[in-house]
């Protein structure tokens, strides 16, 4: 089993003020991130990860007030300097950073990842997203979201360019020969000459080849087109915290997409997003989750749901059809997956809901209430083992959306990991030199 820790939401939506969260620190104090990295490495996790977005949520009521007031997907910072700082106080753990193939340029991104891979000595993963949110797109020159399928066409081409750039310097291209003064071998540096639909890049990358050559690529598409892109792009896939039958369905769809591309499904794992709270007793874990549930004002719930679905739910009528609402969201080029999809699966797409019922489900969604594993280490280990086997025993879990960071991360490192080790499910030492070796090759 592989394990990561997702710290994306640790300072947002009420979590930052829960007992045991950010003690003596305020976001984005780098000392807190360094401490987090040390704890995660004590637990021998594969990687620490953060998602990202580059806009301020402003879908709810058509303005950003609730997001700013209650810290909903705001504030955020670019992850790369934070990863560098964390890498300086650790030796083994990897770092997963999120960038958008819709907004970034592949030359800049490939070069940045190469530099980070050098600085961390081969511990970088990049999570590529297409960005499903209008407020993000508005900062990069778009009036509307690019069409869903076109976003994935661009992601695949973006990946082609990055790969060609990372391969443009062969692993032994550098000489640094003090006797002769020769720095590089010109025969081992290659052009790229990419002329595609979205990008025109000559190459080569003007950097030395990095420890991993190519950083580990992660991708979290959930729609049929997104899953096809996962099969093309990803070394390792990232999956949503859906009900187990939906995860089994995604695993099957990914396997088919991988086979269609001639890739071996046994070699491509999925890290399932897994919100969790582990404590000495089940009662304590559930009480902590309930406390977070109470801490979130209605306005924050509305801002969170509206941003993620790309639809202003403040405009919902008193009573409406779930199917019609979902169709409207899909037509706007936001993702067909996510909350509405999962709610339709749960209560039936044909259901009519009242506003009050919708927001009750929404509050649970906003803190991942139904998908959070809250309990003792033994109880959580049982559920992880069950989910691991049901989804093909490849990959593992991205533990996250915890109530309090670092308290819950300490629970992961000191309670859950030893339990999984006792069961022979998790490493007892890092065996690889790089993230690629630890996550993909062992």
Ligand X SMILES: Cc1cc2nc3c(=O)[nH]c(=O)nc-3n(C[C@H](O)[C@H](O)[C@H](O)COP(=O)(O)O)c2cc1C
221 counts as binding ligand X under rule CB under 6 A: yes
Question: Shortest approach of ligand X to residue 24 CB, angstroms?
Answer: 27
Q: Which stretch binds ligand X (CB under 6 A): 9-17, 69-77, 205-213, 219-227?
A: 219-227
Ramachandran angles phi, psi of 293, nearest 5°? -55, -40
Check binding of 51 to ligand X (CB under 6 A): yes
Cβ at position 23, least distance to ligand X in Å = 26
Q: How far is the CB of 316 from ligand X (least distance, A)?
A: 22
Q: How far, in Å, CA of 110 to CA of 207, rounded? A: 10
Is there binding between residue 7 and ligand X (CB under 6 A)? no
Query: CA-CA distance, 333 to 238, in Å (whole number)?
Result: 21
Contacts of 324 (CB under 8 A, 6+ apart): none
User: Packing angle between helix 148-166 and helix 224-233, nearest 10 degrees?
Assistant: 0
Closest separation in Å from C-beta 238 to ligand X: 5
Of residues 222-261, which lie at the interface with ligand X (CB under 6 A)? 222-223, 225-226, 238-240
Among 337, 340, 353, 403, interactor with ligand X by CB under 6 A: 337
| Helix 244-260 and helix 377-390, axial crossing angle in degrees, nearest 10 | 40
Among 73, 120, 130, 210, binds ligand X (CB under 6 A): 130
Going by their DSSP bridges, the two strands 200-201 and 194-195 should be labelled as: antiparallel
- By CB under 6 A, the residues from 273 to 292 that bind ligand X are 273
Q: Would you count residue 164 as binding ligand X (CB under 6 A)?
A: no
Which run of H or of E encompasses 414?
A: none
Q: Which is nearer to ligand X, 225 or 427 (CB)?
A: 225
CB of 407 closer than 8 Å to CB of 35 = no
DSSP string over 338-380: SHHHHHHHHH-TT-EEEHHHHHHHHHHHHTTTTT-EEE-HHHH
CA dist., res. 13 & res. 373, Å (int): 19
Candidates 53, 204, 209, 375; binder of ligand X (CB under 6 A) is: 53
Residue nearest to ligand X (CB): 226
**Burial label, 258 (beta-carbon count in 10 A; 0-12, 13-18, 19+):** buried
The smaller minimum CB distance to ligand X, of residues 215 and 239, is found at 239
Q: How far apart are CA 403 and CA 373, in angstroms?
A: 11
Least distance (Å) between residue 340 CB and ligand X: 11
Range in contact with ligand X (rule: CB under 6 A) among 105-113, 127-135, 153-161, 413-421: 127-135
Q: Which of 336, 375, 392, 411 forms a contact with ligand X (CB under 6 A)?
A: 336
Structure tokens at 287: 């009480």
Quote the CA–CA distance of 434 and 441 in Å, as a whole number. Answer: 10
Number of chain residues interacting with ligand X (CB under 6 A): 21
Q: Which of residues 348-367 bind ligand X (CB under 6 A)?
A: none
Which residues are paired to 270 by β-bridges?
Answer: 237, 395
Kindly tell me which of 6 and 419 has the beta carbon lying closer to ligand X.
Answer: 6
Residue entry with tokens 């420890």: 211
Of the candidates 130, 106, 308, which has an alpha carbon nearest to the alpha carbon of residue 228? 130
Of 75-83, 123-131, 186-194, 275-283, the segment contacting ligand X by CB under 6 A is 123-131
Q: Which of 335, 376, 404, 438 binds ligand X (CB under 6 A)?
A: 335
- Under rule CB under 6 A, residue 73 binds ligand X: no
Is residue 131 near ligand X by the rule CB under 6 A?
yes
Q: Which run of H or of E encompasses 311? A: none
Choose the binding region for ligand X from 82-90, 214-222, 318-326, 376-384 (rule: CB under 6 A): 214-222
Distance CA 400, CA 45 (A): 12
| Residue 269 engages ligand X in binding (rule: CB under 6 A) | no
Q: How far is the CB of 76 from ligand X (least distance, A)?
A: 10
Q: How many CB atoms lie within 10 A of CB 290?
A: 14
Q: Write the CB contacts of 74 (distance below 8 Å, at least 6 apart in sequence).
A: 12, 56, 57, 64, 67, 68
The least CB distance from residue 271 to ligand X, in Å, is: 8
Q: From the list 59, 87, 90, 98, which residue makes contact with ligand X (rule: CB under 6 A)?
A: 98
The encoded tokens of residue 200 equal 């025109």
Q: How far is the CB of 128 from ligand X (least distance, A)?
A: 8
Inter-residue contact 319 to 353 (CB < 8 Å): yes
- Interacting residues with ligand X (CB under 6 A): 51-53, 98, 129-132, 220-223, 225-226, 238-240, 273, 335-337
């Amino acid at each position: 089993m592989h394990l990561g820790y997702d710290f994306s939401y640790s300072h947002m939506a009420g979590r930052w003020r829960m007992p045991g969260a950010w003690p003596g620190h305020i976001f984005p104090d780098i000392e807190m991130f360094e401490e987090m990295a040390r704890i995660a490495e004590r637990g021998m996790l594969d990687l620490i990860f953060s998602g990202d977005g580059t806009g301020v949520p402003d879908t709810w009521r058509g303005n950003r007030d609730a997001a700013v007031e209650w810290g909903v997907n705001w504030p955020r910072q670019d992850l790369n300097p934070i990863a560098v700082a964390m890498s300086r106080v650790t030796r083994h753990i990897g770092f997963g950073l999120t960038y958008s193939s819709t907004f970034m340029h592949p030359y800049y991104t490939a070069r940045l990842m190469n530099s980070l891979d050098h600085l961390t000595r081969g511990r970088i993963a990049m999570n590529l997203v297409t960005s499903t949110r209008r407020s993000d797109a508005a900062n990069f020159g778009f009036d509307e979201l690019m069409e869903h399928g076109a976003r994935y066409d661009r992601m695949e081409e973006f990946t082609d360019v990055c790969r060609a750039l990372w391969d443009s310097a062969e692993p032994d291209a550098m000489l640094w020969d003090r006797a002769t003064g020769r720095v590089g071998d010109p025969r081992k540096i290659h052009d790229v000459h990419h002329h595609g639909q979205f990008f025109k890049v000559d190459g080569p990358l003007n950097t030395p080849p990095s420890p991993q050559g190519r950083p580990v690529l992660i991708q979290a598409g959930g729609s049929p087109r997104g899953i096809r892109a996962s099969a093309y792009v990803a070394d390792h896939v990232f999956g949503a915290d859906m009900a187990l039958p939906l995860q089994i369905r995604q695993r099957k769809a990914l396997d088919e997409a991988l086979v269609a591309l001639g890739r071996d499904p046994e070699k491509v794992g999925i890290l399932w997003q897994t919100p969790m709270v582990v404590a000495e007793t089940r009662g304590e874990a559930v009480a902590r989750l309930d406390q977070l549930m109470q801490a979130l004002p209605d306005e924050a719930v509305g801002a969170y749901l509206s941003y993620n679905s790309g639809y202003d739910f403040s405009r919902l009528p008193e009573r409406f059809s779930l199917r019609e609402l979902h169709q409207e969201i899909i037509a706007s080029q936001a993702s067909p997956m996510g909350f509405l999809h999962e709610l339709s699966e749960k209560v039936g797409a044909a259901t009519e809901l009242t506003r009050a019922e919708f927001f009750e489900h929404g509050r649970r969604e906003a803190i991942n209430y139904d998908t959070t594993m809250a309990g003792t280490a033994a109880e959580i280990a049982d559920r992880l083992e069950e989910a691991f086997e049901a989804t093909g025993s490849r990959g593992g879990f991205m533990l996250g959306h915890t109530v309090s960071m670092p308290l819950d991360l300490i629970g992961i490192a000191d309670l859950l990991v030893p339990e999984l080790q006792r069961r022979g499910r998790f490493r007892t030492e890092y065996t690889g030199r790089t993230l690629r070796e630890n996550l993909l090759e062992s």
